[in-house]
Amino acid sequence: MKKIFFLFLIMLLIPYIIVHIFIREDEILFHFKENNTIRIKREKTGEIVVVPFEEYIVGVLAGEMPINFQMEALKAQAVAARSYALKKIEANRTAEYDIVDSTVNQVYLDEEYLKNAWKNTYVEKINKLRKAVLETQGEVLIYDNKIIEAFFFSTSVGATENSEDIFSKPVDYLRSVASLWDKDVSPVYTEKKTFSLKDFYQKLGLSYQESLNVETLEATSTGRTKKVKINGKTFTGSEVASLLNLRSAFFTIKKSENTVEIQTKGYGHGVGMSQYGAEGMARNGYSYDEILKYYYTGVEIKKI
């Protein structure tokens, strides 16, 4: 009876051993043209490195989106990131570098970093990202026969922002659109932070007072704070968000005895494509081109 049991067990294990030991997933490799590169400034070291362009887009996907995102969301990000990078190359032809590897421009993670971070899952994960890049290879967003400034951010407040409300300049393809998926899929849709009254004033450069008077002077169409007066001093919403390290300029400030509670909604500047909105759309069956044409008004997708 024991022999029959062990034979049965071995028969069950053989397919597993063959699949997991002898049949391994091969890493997808790119073939590059020598002149198809981008110059990246590493923010931490100041070093400027030259990287094959499409491999750079893979590194941006790794830095900008969670690896568990749907393929259509990753493909939308690849096209947006490629458009953004090419716009930077165009603008910085005579400069030392084209782009910075941080949130100043786009977060980029190189191969060495990813191998250390992902270890034995590296091939599986890098292949997923390279597939998203290969399936959109060369595709960019075009408006009025020009590559667009494809701004994107993490999580909307329920709608994206008109460009002029955040960056002062109106842009036809950066219009406010509803983004109702974020609330259901984003883990950073809301955040609550508490400060001591003393710390709150110190961070804003204000003198200590027992009373706190907050008056919103101007807001965007979605409710983000554009200008706010705090104890007589006027700030932009972005200044308050930066000084208090808030996720967005959509906030409410409430004093309770010697503490200040701040509730925020959304994450990022709010202009262009919401990344968690894109993920929500992908989960609901939208394709990457539908996602892009939804968040960037009136654009076309063209291969260059």
Helix, strand, coil in percent for the chain, rounding step 5: 40, 25, 40
CA distance 142 to 298: 9
Instruction: For residue range 128-150, list pLDDT tens digits in order.
Output: 999 999 999 999 999 999 999 99
Question: What pLDDT sits at residue 35?
Answer: 60
Residue 111 in this model has a pLDDT that exceeds 80: yes
Question: What pLDDT sits at residue 21?
Answer: 42
Instruction: For residue range 225-273, list pLDDT tens digits in order.
Output: 999 999 999 999 999 999 999 999 999 999 998 999 999 999 999 999 9
* Tokens at 132, concatenated: 């998203």
CA distance 54 to 61: 11
CA distance 297 to 143: 9
* Tokens at 264, concatenated: 């925020």
Residue in 297, 287, 273, 300 with CA at minimum distance from that of residue 160: 273
Instruction: For residue range 168-201, list pLDDT tens digits in order.
Output: 899 999 999 999 999 999 999 999 999 999 999 9
Instruction: For residue range 4-62, list pLDDT tens digits in order.
Output: 544 444 554 545 444 444 445 687 765 545 569 999 999 999 999 999 999 999 999 99
Residue 294 in this model has a pLDDT that exceeds 60: yes
Strand order in the sheet with 233-236: 214-219, 225-230, 233-236
Identity at 169, one-letter amino acid code: K
Identity at 297, one-letter amino acid code: T
Instruction: For residue range 202-225, list pLDDT tens digits in order.
Output: 999 999 999 999 999 999 999 999
Residue in 220, 101, 216 with CA at minimum distance from that of residue 164: 220
Question: What pLDDT sits at residue 26?
Answer: 80
Share of the chain above pLDDT 70, in %: 89
pTM score > 0.75 for this model? Answer: yes
Cα-atom radius of gyration of the chain, to the nearest Å?
24
CA distance 47 to 187: 34
Question: What pLDDT sits at residue 168?
Answer: 83
Residue in 68, 84, 74, 83 with CA at minimum distance from that of residue 134: 74
Tell me the mean pLDDT in the region 143-167. 97
Question: What pLDDT sits at residue 25?
Answer: 63
11-15, 162-166, 294-298: least confident range: 11-15
**Domain ranges (residues) in the chain:** 37-152+270-303, 190-265
